[in-house]
A and B are shown apart, each in its own frame.
Chain A
Amino acid sequence: MYLVLVPLAQLIWRTVTWGEGDRRLSPAAVEGEVTGFHWMEAFSGPSSNAMLFEPLANSLFTGLFAAVFALLLGGVLAWVVTRTDMPGTSWLRPLLIVPYVVPSFAIALAWETLFKSPRIGGLPGLYETVLGFGPPEWLSYGPTPIIITMTIHYFPFAFLLICGALASLDSQLEESAELLGASRWTILRKITFPIVAPAFAAAAILTFGKTIGTFALPFLLGQPVQYATLATRLFSTLNQGLDALGYILALVLIAITALAVYASSRVLGGNLNRFETIGGKGFKGQLTRLRNWRWPIFGATAAVALAVAVFPLLLLGYQTLMLVDGFYGFDNLTLHYWIGESDPELAEGEPGLVRNDVILGATWITLKLAFISAAICSVVGLIIGYIVVRDRGGWIAKLLDQISFAPFLFPAIAFAAMYLSLFAEARGPIPALYGTFTLLVLISVVNRLPYGVRTGTAAVAQIGRELEEAAEIQGASWMRRFRQIVLPLATSGLVAGMLVSFVGVMRELSLIILLITPSTRVLMTVGFRYAEEDQVQLGNALILLVTVLTLAGQYLVWRLGKGRLARLRERSG
């Protein structure tokens, strides 16, 4: 509570008081006094249109479209991968997740490399190099590429969520309809979809929440043509030192996401987690036969996987090998940026990746941070999920459910700012954590908690209540039950939670940038600096490093959980 509500309260408080620099906004400003000026200005001031409403409309536009496309793409792919006899699912599945693992700004960079507009000058992009003329402007910058890249980045997210629901769907439901003579399309529409609809809706909200708050993609692909969304406008205002206005934008962003969550929970009968109760029984589903369509559908899926996962990485990888950025040719290839010694002529004298102390140090810290926070986050998420499930309908459960969702709505940079002041000094029992690794862990955990809680809730919902009651009757205390019954049985959920958190922490930048000290530097902050200095090769090499490490970490976590999972499959109560 302290970790979520206090920052929120501070945020709101700042928007209704005069701050230090506010005498620039109005001569009437007296620092510390309460005022409605900021809200008036944002909503009805002379520049409220450009300041708030236009970016708001843009955010909704790109966010909604991207969410819808991501859902459709993710949903169809999830169905094809989990419910049909399409070949190659075992290697397609991990590939399809790659775009989510890759930092979002890397996708934007790849897009820029490909569809670079001749208007901005410099060396021609790949498109122009190959075709001889530049791409149309709407394809280079603005809403179209934002929606496309967001879709690419977030469809794996929807894919994962829907896969989970589909995998636990009892195929008998589908089969009985088939026996009644229903066509495959009818089955899909009338049986499969309604059953996974709640999962689908949950995926929709989470995806929308992500797309609407996305910063890097609209930032890199929108601002060259002055296309602003709430997230990028928020960043601009904070950058200009007009923090109260920025926080109002943040609150609007929070409100929209909260509204979406509320609306969907109304539609779903007030229970977001309903779908999770169908999970976990482990019915072995019969797969839909695609017959003649088997190979064409495989082709299409593989093409998607290649286009969104393999190709961007290859492109980035290729760039790291270019001695001089932008020259496509064999004589321009080098491994300098990977293994080279420091050369004052190249990359400001920075040595190649494997010799670079800064990168290596940051790698270690990043991995440590990601593992520790992912582990804590999933356990805390499990505990909260436990309370939410077991005390269903109780007010504590509801409150916890809501609060744990809140960090999801916060713009990370504002969140980080709040944490900075919250933990700067010792308050009561809470020691001053500023500049410590612990604080990084703490904020990463809280920031990732919504995901931890969602997966934790799902995991607990799958554990039959009787399993725990059986232990309760034998006199096992709550701690013991949690440790010996719930925790081991929720391993699969825990692992899933860890995977999601791990990826998130690995990629997190804005959250950490304020809290960073040289001893706590992480990969993304280093990568961000390379991007700032336009050190394309080193930057891309770093992105590849992050991607590979994330995938490796995922694999490791997955292996850890897998051994235990096998035994639990059959009868879990």
Chain B
Amino acid sequence: MLTYIIRRLIGAFAMLIVISMVTFGIFFVVPQWAGATPEAMASRYVGRAATPETVALIAERLGFNDPVAVQYGRFMKGVFAGAEYDYGAGVEQCPAPCFGYSFISGQPVWPELVNRMPVTFSLAIGAAVIWVLAGVSVGVLSALRRGSFFDRLSMGTALAGVSLPIFFTGMISLVVFSYGLGWTAPGGAYVPFTQNPALWAYDLLLPWITLAFLFAAGYARLTRAGMLETMGEDYIRTARAKGLREREVVVKHGLRAALTPILTLFGIDFGLLIGGAVLTETTYTLPGLGQYAILAIRNQDLPPVMGFVLVAATFVVIASLIVDMLYAVVDPRVRLS
């Protein structure tokens, strides 16, 4: 078990290093491949009105002429130890973790990210809870009543679910349930959980279901397939022959074995979840991390996007790590190997 945990921790750390390199590459190396000069990159930091001399000076100060490895080192130092920006007029302190300043608002990126984190996390975690519960229970029921009306209906819905873009279901449900029937919040609002839990859930209910629907469909299909397979195994017959109640046979012997591939999927779905959260936030105009990044991208405002990419990827790595630990709890083979 301990070796397993250590191996996973090392893996997660390596993943974070890779992610930081890819992020750095996207924002500082790819533009240069695509033909941007150090001056062109620096001009984004000082605005279009600056003279060529100022731009060249800034390019030198920000180190766009340095070797890539040196630039990466400086970038990582900023994240972990903070950075100092010397604009000539004075030195600006940017405390760690420093993701720079927004080109548009001039505000540091990190506090804004921190402000928006609860929205995205509430959305993502709530949706994950809903889709796992709904997907697994629908899958189990479908498998137990294979060929029934319920099975056909839920599998048909699941197939439609994996074929529907999240922003389309989002808009349709907004029109139907919010503007039409008036059951749910019209979107765009967020109340912190600590302030008013009921209102928090009310505002997030529709986004949760929208985001969960897409994933629940896949989980229902996978659970159904897994349950059909395990319920045909010999040990299920043995459990029944022992005289166990059917519920115990299904939950303790059937579902437990079928759960392993679902956990595997859950572990790698966090990446998709963050993407889905971005789409959901944009559809419902929720003030989360994804919306911040999309607004920034439209304004060519790169530091917020970079901060968002790093924060989102770190979240994905940590969440996957937690799932890997759960994995060991559910599947004894993992902790013994």
Physical interaction between A and B: no
Q: Which B positions have Cβ atoms within 8 angstroms of A?
A: none
